[in-house]
Structure 1
Amino acid sequence: MPASESFRIPKHRRHVPTARQRLRKTLADWGITDELADAVVLLANELVTNAVTHCRVPYSQIKVELTLNSTELVLEVSDPDRDRLPRPHDSTPEEEGGRGLALVAALADHWGCRQEPYAKCVWARFGLEEAHVPSAL
C-alpha cells in the first residue's frame, strides 16, 4: 500500500516555508534524505510558490500531496484556479522569475498538469532507485 501525506495551506507566500518543512519531515520519516529529498523539496517550493502567486481565487487554499509507492514518488500541488494552466516560457537573464517550470522539467522524471472539476493540479514524478524504497512498502 502506498504511503501518502496530504495537507492544505492558505494561499499566501508566508505559508510556502511551512509546505517545505512538512514535506522535508515526511520524506525523512519515509527514509528519503538525500538528493532526491532536496529535489522534491525544491520543486515543491517552486510549485507552491507558483500556486500562491498565480491563483486568482481569493481566500483559497493550496493542496499539497506526496505519494510514495514501490516505483515512484509523486508530488502534486493543486489550487482552485482550474482554468489557468501553467505554461513554461523562456526567461531572459534580466527577469527575476519564470524559471520554475524549467527547473521542474529538469529535476523530475516526468511532470504535467491536469484540470479537475474544481481545481488544477501540477504534478512531478520521480522514479525510485531500490535504495529509496522503504522496506515497509
Structure 2
Amino acid sequence: MNQQKIAQVHSPTSHFSVLLSPTPRGARLARLLAAEWMRDHEVPYGVTEAATQVVAELATNAATHGRVAGRSFRLALLSDEGVLRIEVTDTRAESLPSVQPTHPEGDSGRGLLLVGALADRWGTVLGPVPRKTVWAELDLPHP
C-alpha cells in the first residue's frame, strides 16, 4: 500500500480543473486560481507570468464570446513532461476563436495575438457537442 501512495505522490503529471461562471468575475477567478496553482506546483516565475496572462485572455474570451446563460466554462491546467497545458472549455462550439485584424485605437481584439506570442503552441478542439476547448502550451525549462 505504501508503494502505491509513493507512486501517486511522485507522478510526473499534475492536473487542476474547475468550473467557473462565464462572467468577468469568473474570468478573474480563473486567473487567480491558475496563478496560485502554479505557485503551489513550483512552475518557474517566467512561465507563471506568461501562463497567467494566457489564462486571463482565454478565460475572458470564454466569458465574453463563449457565454451561454446557465452554462459554466472550465479551466484546466496540466503539467507533464516539460509542458504546461492550459485548456479553457466553453459551450459555444459555433463561435471559434480567430485572430482578427486590430485597430491602433481599439481597446480590444489583441487577446489571441498575445496568446500566440506567449504560448509555444495553441489551438482549438471541438466537442463533445456543444463544447469547444481552446488550449495553449508553454514549454517548461529543463532542470
| TM value normalised by structure 2 | 0.87
Q: After superposition, where does 1:26-65 map in structure 2 within 5 Å?
A: 26-65=37-76
CA distance in 1, matches of 2:45, 2:74: 25
Distance, in Å, in 2 between the alignment partners of 1:67 and 1:56 is 24
* Structure 1 residue 121 corresponds to structure 2 residue 133: yes
- Secondary structure of the 1:74 match is strand
Tell me the alpha carbon deviations over residues 86-130 of structure 1, each in whole angstroms, 9 at most, x when there is no partner.
Answer: 010120111110000000000100000011122000000011111
User: Greater Rg, structure 1 or structure 2?
Assistant: 2
Q: How does 1:75-114 map to 2 (within 5 A)?
A: 75-114=86-125
- Equivalent residue number for residue 23 of structure 1: 34
The corresponding residue for 1:70 is 81
Identity %: 32
Q: Which residue is 2:24 aligned to? A: 13
Give the aligned residue type for 2:74.
K
Structure 1: where are the runs of 5+ without partners? 132-137
- Given that 2:67 and 2:90 are in contact with CA atoms closer than 8 Å, whether structure 1 keeps it comes out as no
Runs of 4+ in 1 over 4 A off after TM superposition: none
CA RMSD in angstroms comes to: 1.1
Instruction: In structure 2, give the amino acid aligned to 1:36.
Output: V
Q: Could you tell me how far apart the structure 2 residues matched to 1:15 and 1:89 are?
A: 24
**1:11–1:95 distance in 2 versus 1, CA, 3 Å:** same
Output the TM-score relative to the length of structure 1: 0.91
CA contact (8 A) 1:88 1:102 kept: yes
Q: CA deviation at 1:56?
A: 4.4
Matched-pair contact (CA < 8 Å) for 2:54–2:115: yes
The corresponding residue for 1:135 is none
